[in-house]
Structure 1
Amino acid sequence: MELKVLNSDPKRYGITEKKKSDIDLLTAQVIDAEAVVQQQTTVVSAITQKSIKYQGYLLDAENYRTQSLSNKNLIDQVIQNAIDLSGNSEIAFTKMTDANQNTEQVAIEVTVLINKLIYSVEIINKLSNLVIRKKSLNPLISDDLITKINAAGTDANNAVALTLIALKSIFAAQTSCLESEAATALEQKQALNLYTTLTGQKNPNETTVVLENNSIQSLLYKANSDAKIAYLESNKANDETIRQLNVATTNLNKAQVKLKSLQAALAAANAAALAS
């Protein structure tokens, strides 16, 4: 009895192999797409951490810039106060010097006046003694004359006493002026020393900030300049990190979309293969 071998339909066999080949290709593509998504996810995660760090750097740089600017403005105020104190002390010193000179002149004039008053008292006393002696020889000399001469002597003595009190007050005022003058001179000197310490310059009329010295002003000005540069660099780095994160996120989204598309195509191919 002759046996007949039943062969499958070659056309159907070719379709099945084609579907299997398509499924294998899609499966490989899905695996590759998953690897790409995983890689892009890792990149996004790393750049996100980097972005958080750089945002912290930028915040620190901004705070440092703000503080350094505040310090710069503060040192400018302190220097201006030192300049004002020096100028006011110089004016006060000049006025004190003038007052002291005027007091000395008044003291000289009052001393001359006292000498004249003392001389007047001596003359009046001599005149009084002379009139009294004459009165003893000549009773016709008026008693009223003697009374007036004696009164003149008393007034002259009182004038001397009052002038001496005035001279004492003048000397006290002169001492006060000298003390104030010395204090004002010291104050001016200290203000200038403070200005020199702060700026490294000796003349308050100098307005240019010398950045090469080691004065407080120079250091704070340089710190402010460095803070500005540091902020710009931090801001630039932060912007670049954000740009990188945006690119990486876009790449991840594209990879995820491609993966989902391939997964959908693979699922459809598997479904079609099972249905055939």
Structure 2
Amino acid sequence: METTLLNSSPKRYGITEKKKSDIDLLTSLVADAQAVVQQQTTVVSSLSQKSLKYQGYLLDAENSKTQSLSNKQLIDQVVQNALDLSANSEIAFSKMTLANENTEEVAKEVTILINKLIYSVEIINKLSNLVIRTKSLNPLISDDLITKINAAGTDANNAIALTLIALKSIFASQSLCLESEAATALEQKQALNLYLSLTGKSNSQEPLVLEDNDSAQALIYKADIEAKAAYQEANKANDETTRQLNLATVNLNRAQIELKSLQAALAAANAAALAS
């Protein structure tokens, strides 16, 4: 009986020391695992904040890119409108010039007509005087003839009056044409100057060159290019941050799983030690 007790004591002692050693090892591993989890949690938290910041940068860059594209489209419309106005004004100026020339021609023809009518009135008046003098010498001359001659004179005078009114209207129209022609010429010049100022070109056929061009259109084009480049950089940085965050999250999950596994093993070892 004594021999049995003496023989079992060293074995129990050895088992206890082994369990204590295992528990100490697991405790150390759990502490290390907790440190790793804490470190990975810090990394994930930091990268999460960085990701939110870069998402904000990306949103700002996208808004800037959208606005710069809208500005580019708007300046293109303004430039095209200026060019169209210049071209349309030039066409209108050509038509007004032609209309003015036609008005001048009509005025010349009406003037010629008035001169002919005046000449006709003079002839009719002379004829009327002649007929009246002749009738005083020859009563057989018809009164109806005198009446018709006088009527012809009156009609001729009325025709002269109407033609003068028409000529006055022509001169008024010609004056308006000249004013409109001058206004259209000024409009065409100003529209062309606006177009050249907006584009920095020397003529409407010259291609737009961005280098060494500080015109509104060139600056907006450059801003659009820079906004697109900034968006690409922000998108690239955001993607890289997202990749880093995903990797750190995976590492944290692994560390948490490892920690839980070690904690479970430690709990089991402690339970076994208490049970023995």
After TM superposition, the score normalised by the length of structure 2 is 0.90
Q: What is the deviation of 1:125?
A: 2.0
Which amino acid counterpart does residue 94 of structure 2 have in structure 1?
A: T
Tell me how far apart the structure 2 counterparts of residues 50 and 203 of structure 1 sit (CA, whole Å): 51
Q: What is the deviation of 1:139?
A: 4.0
Q: What is the deviation of 1:140?
A: 4.5
Tell me how far apart the structure 1 counterparts of residues 161 and 103 of structure 2 sit (CA, whole Å): 20
Tell me how far apart the structure 2 counterparts of residues 7 and 144 of structure 1 sit (CA, whole Å): 177
Tell me how far apart the structure 2 counterparts of residues 163 and 89 of structure 1 sit (CA, whole Å): 34
More off after superposition, 80-89 vs 97-106: 80-89
Which amino acid counterpart does residue 197 of structure 2 have in structure 1?
A: T
Q: Name 1:200's counterpart in structure 2.
A: 200
Q: Name 1:155's counterpart in structure 2.
A: 155
Tell me how far apart the structure 2 counterparts of residues 237 and 88 of structure 1 sit (CA, whole Å): 50
Q: What is the deviation of 1:7?
A: 9.3
- Answer yes or no: is 1:50 the counterpart of 2:63: no
Q: Name 1:209's counterpart in structure 2.
A: 208
SS of residue matched to 1:204: coil
RMSD of the TM alignment (CA)?
Answer: 2.0
Which amino acid counterpart does residue 118 of structure 2 have in structure 1?
A: I
Q: Name 2:102's counterpart in structure 1.
A: 102
SS of residue matched to 2:161: helix
Q: What is the deviation of 1:20?
A: 2.0
Aligned residues: 270
Native 8 Å contact 1:195 1:202 kept in 2: no
SS of residue matched to 2:201: coil
Tell me how far apart the structure 1 counterparts of residues 74 and 269 of structure 2 sit (CA, whole Å): 75
More off after superposition, 35-44 vs 131-140: 131-140
Which amino acid counterpart does residue 195 of structure 2 have in structure 1?
A: Y
Native 8 Å contact 1:192 1:202 kept in 2: no
- Answer yes or no: is 1:180 the counterpart of 2:158: no
Q: Name 2:30's counterpart in structure 1.
A: 30
Cα deviation per residue 1:215-243 (whole Å; 9 max; x = unaligned)?
22112211221111111111111111110
Tell me how far apart the structure 2 counterparts of residues 251 and 220 of structure 1 sit (CA, whole Å): 46
Q: What is the deviation of 1:138?
A: 4.2
Runs of 5+ consecutive residues of structure 1 not aligned to the other structure: 1-5
Cα deviation per residue 1:102-152 (whole Å; 9 max; x = unaligned)?
000000111111112112222222333333334334445444443333222
Native 8 Å contact 1:103 1:174 kept in 2: yes
SS of residue matched to 1:9: helix
Tell me how far apart the structure 1 counterparts of residues 203 and 171 of structure 2 sit (CA, whole Å): 36
After TM superposition, the score normalised by the length of structure 1 is 0.90
Q: What is the deviation of 1:156?
A: 1.8
Tell me how far apart the structure 2 counterparts of residues 265 and 226 of structure 1 sit (CA, whole Å): 58
Cα deviation per residue 1:148-191 (whole Å; 9 max; x = unaligned)?
33222222211211111110111111111112212222222222
Tell me how far apart the structure 1 counterparts of residues 261 and 156 of structure 2 sit (CA, whole Å): 127
- Answer yes or no: is 1:226 the counterpart of 2:223: no
Tell me how far apart the structure 2 counterparts of residues 202 and 186 of structure 1 sit (CA, whole Å): 19
Native 8 Å contact 1:57 1:234 kept in 2: yes
Runs of 5+ consecutive residues of structure 2 not aligned to the other structure: 1-5
Q: Name 2:271's counterpart in structure 1.
A: 271
Tell me how far apart the structure 2 counterparts of residues 147 and 7 of structure 1 sit (CA, whole Å): 174
Tell me how far apart the structure 2 counterparts of residues 265 and 235 of structure 1 sit (CA, whole Å): 45
SS of residue matched to 1:210: coil
Tell me how far apart the structure 2 counterparts of residues 160 and 269 of structure 1 sit (CA, whole Å): 133
Cα deviation per residue 1:23-71 (whole Å; 9 max; x = unaligned)?
2222111111111111110000000011111111111111111121112
Cα deviation per residue 1:237-265 (whole Å; 9 max; x = unaligned)?
11111100011001111111111111122
Native 8 Å contact 1:104 1:174 kept in 2: yes
SS of residue matched to 2:136: helix
Which amino acid counterpart does residue 52 of structure 1 have in structure 2?
A: L
Which amino acid counterpart does residue 89 of structure 2 have in structure 1?
A: S
